[in-house]
Structure 1
Amino acid sequence: MYQITLIPGDGIGPEISAATKEVLAATGVDIRWEEKLAGEVAYSKFGRLLPEDTLLSIRKNKIALKGPLTTPVGTGFRSVNVALRKEFDLYINLRPARTYRGVKSRYDNVDLVVVRENTEDLYAGIEHMVGEDAAESIKIITRKGSERIVRFAFEYAVREGRKKVTAVHKANIMKCTDGLFLNTARRVAEEFPQIEFEDRIVDNMCMQLVQKPELYDVMVLPNLYGDIVSDLCAGLVGGLGMAPGANIGKDIAIFEPVHGSAPKHAGQNKANPSAMIFSAVMMLRHLGEMEASAKVENALAEVISEGCAVTYDLGGASSTSEMAMAVIDKMR
């Protein structure tokens, strides 16, 4: 039995979370959910975006599944998600991007994984005004941070049967910071001779992904480039509605769709649950439940491919809950 923290989230979060719970229940995997609040709904109820009770639950259970969160304006938080990453040192942001038949895309052969460093770079938020007319933001890249994210990328490639890791950087200009990241990547790559290694300058990488995404496999990037390129990759496969994600640390992992909370669609039971369900697929793999993971992924892919029981954004007319039921039917 697994005890897992569930944060339903804001906006459409509770609907896609409920749909995902139903799908996971149908796998037969014994999960006991511990539901907690965060984001706007927590702020309105407790006056805190991240209640201590929620943090304690995640720390205790080690695994969490969460819906999208809203950070209210004027709270002092840049992002609830960034706060969670810092709180638990979730230094890995894992973002797979894969094409599925039935999803409108310009490509039909994309199968990419973005491994994004999650704790340093410009996202450290160390910035200040310089007088009245200039602002300065400090970019921090460390050897430790670079080594652990690159090592994870190679270990992931080995574990998942991937063939190549591409380090993405701007070391031609930022020779100290990105140079340190690249040199560290090259050194770690020597420990994994069975995995092909290459590097790309980030602007060229973006062009390459648009022209020939089939040439790439696992990409490892510093925080800011990873944020940008992961959304680019989502665009290659149909958008954020198909984009699952995970934030992983040494002992704790939080799985989540990467799209927003879409408050204007809340309560209408029409949001696409695919990204949330695919995030749960990643969670099952993380737990070692490979059979259940494959069962859910294949069922959802089949529902999307058929196009008969999908939500409006996928060209159908089904509700969130109806699409979830269609996935469950495929699993039986």
Structure 2
Amino acid sequence: MYKVTLIPGDGIGPEVAKAMTKVVETSGVKIEWEEVNAGETVMEEFETPLPKHVIDTIKKNKIAIKGPITTPIGKGFKSVNVTLRQELDLYVNLRPIKSFKGIKSRYENVDLVIVRENTEDLYAGIEHKLGNYGAESIKIITKDASERIVDFACNYVKDNKRNKLTAVHKANIMKLTDGLFLDVFREVSSKHDINYDDLIVDAAAMNLVLNPEKYDVMVMPNLYGDILSDLGAGLVGGLGIIPGANIGKDYAVFEAVHGSAPQIAGQNKANPTALIQSAVMMLRYLEEYECADKIEKALGEVFLKGEKLTLDLGGSASTTEFADEVCKYILNS
């Protein structure tokens, strides 16, 4: 029996979280969910979108999965997602970008993984005003953070029998910061028995649109990872199907990376695929490979059959109907 912190989140979060837990439980894995919440729904009670007890619960269980969380805009609060990553030192953001047959897209056979450094770069949040003239944001790249993210990416390539690791950077312009990242990448990668190369970020954006099937595992600083992972989601059907994981030495938080979609909240219309796929990643992290494979295979069969797809995928099924269809295929596997 595993104990996992469940953070349903805001908007459609509770609906997709309910669908996800049903699918996970149907796969046969035994999980005790410890439910807490963060975001706008707790602001009035705790005067913060991220109460201390939420972080304490994750530290206790060491693993969490969360739905979309809204950080109030213009009220001085730091992003809940960024705060969680920094508080728990979740230095890896892992985003698999994979095509499913049955989901309409301009591309087929996309199967790439973005490994994003998660704790520094411009997301360190060090900014200040320059009088009335302007503002300045400081980009931080350190050797230690670069070494551990590249080492993680190298091991991911080997452990998952991938073909190549590509570093994404802008070292031709930012010679000190991105130059450091690139130097570390080359040094660390050379110590691993893998194929590796590097690519300037603007060329990476173009090439991912032209020939995404040519790329495998890509490692990069925080900002580029944020942008290119969303670009990658657009290649295979959108953020509604893409999972995400934030992984550190001691803790891991799995998440749907899409927004809270308040305009359809409570209407049972949301697509729960992103959170279900994040749960698949979580189960593999827990080494529950058989249950993870069951869910992934069932998702593929639901997409291929195309009879119970949600509105965003061109169907008319509700969140509940989609989850029930996935569960049906799991039970028949």
Q: 1:228 aligns to what?
A: 227
Q: 1:299 aligns to what?
A: 298
Q: 1:159 aligns to what?
A: 159
TM-fit CA distance, 1:242: 1.1
TM-fit CA distance, 1:312: 0.9
SS in 2 for 1:21: helix
Q: 1:82 aligns to what?
A: 82
Task: Please say if residues 244 and 278 of structure 2, whose CA atoms lie closer than 8 Å, have aligned partners that are also in contact.
Answer: yes
Q: 2:31 aligns to what?
A: 31
TM-fit CA distance, 1:58: 0.3
Alignment partners' CA distance in 2, 1:156 and 1:57: 28
TM-fit CA distance, 1:78: 2.9
Alignment partners' CA distance in 2, 1:267 and 1:302: 27
Alignment partners' CA distance in 2, 1:70 and 1:143: 32
Q: 1:204 aligns to what?
A: 203
* Regions of 4+ moved over 3 Å: none
List aligned pairs for 1:53-72, cutoff 5 A. 53-72=53-72
Output one character per residue of 1:26-58: Cα deviation in whole Å (capped at 9) or x when no partner: 011110000001011111333221112211110
SS in 2 for 1:240: coil
Alignment partners' CA distance in 1, 2:53 and 2:123: 26
Q: 1:262 aligns to what?
A: 261
TM-fit CA distance, 1:76: 1.7
Task: Please say if residues 271 and 319 of structure 1, whose CA atoms lie closer than 8 Å, have aligned partners that are also in contact.
Answer: yes
Output one character per residue of 1:139-179: Cα deviation in whole Å (capped at 9) or x when no partner: 11000010000000011111111110000000111111000
TM-fit CA distance, 1:20: 0.3
Output one character per residue of 1:302-329: Cα deviation in whole Å (capped at 9) or x when no partner: 1011110111111111110110000000
TM-fit CA distance, 1:19: 0.3
Task: Please say if residues 48 and 77 of structure 2, whose CA atoms lie closer than 8 Å, have aligned partners that are also in contact.
Answer: no
Q: 2:216 aligns to what?
A: 217
Task: Please say if residues 307 and 314 of structure 1, whose CA atoms lie closer than 8 Å, have aligned partners that are also in contact.
Answer: no
Q: 2:270 aligns to what?
A: 271
Alignment partners' CA distance in 2, 1:5 and 1:329: 26
Alignment partners' CA distance in 1, 2:128 and 2:79: 18
Give 2:232's aligned amino acid: C
TM-score (norm. length: structure 1)? 0.98
Q: 2:328 aligns to what?
A: 329
Output one character per residue of 1:95-121: Cα deviation in whole Å (capped at 9) or x when no partner: 010010111111011001000001111
Alignment partners' CA distance in 1, 2:134 and 2:10: 36
- Structure 1 stretch 75-84 or stretch 89-98: which is displaced more? 75-84
SS in 2 for 1:198: strand
Give 1:251's aligned amino acid: D
Q: 2:309 aligns to what?
A: 310
Give 1:135's aligned amino acid: A
Q: 2:279 aligns to what?
A: 280
Alignment partners' CA distance in 1, 2:15 and 2:205: 34
TM-score (norm. length: structure 2)? 0.98
Structure 1 unaligned spans of 5+: none
List aligned pairs for 1:88-127, cutoff 5 A. 88-127=88-127
SS in 1 for 2:109: coil
Output one character per residue of 1:181-224: Cα deviation in whole Å (capped at 9) or x when no partner: 0000000111112x210000000011111111111100000001
Task: Please say if residues 242 and 274 of structure 1, whose CA atoms lie closer than 8 Å, have aligned partners that are also in contact.
Answer: yes
- Structure 1 stretch 290-299 or stretch 124-133: which is displaced more? 124-133
SS in 1 for 2:240: helix
Counterpart check, 1:174 vs 2:199 = no
Alignment partners' CA distance in 1, 2:173 and 2:210: 24
Q: 1:138 aligns to what?
A: 138
Alignment partners' CA distance in 1, 2:324 and 2:47: 36
SS in 2 for 1:95: strand
Question: Share of identical aligned residues, percent?
Answer: 62
Output one character per residue of 1:249-287: Cα deviation in whole Å (capped at 9) or x when no partner: 111000001000001110000100000100000000000
- Structure 1 stretch 39-48 or stretch 89-98: which is displaced more? 39-48
Task: Please say if residues 69 and 80 of structure 1, whose CA atoms lie closer than 8 Å, have aligned partners that are also in contact.
Answer: yes
Give 2:250's aligned amino acid: D
Structure 2 unaligned spans of 5+: none
SS in 2 for 1:220: strand
Give 1:292's aligned amino acid: C
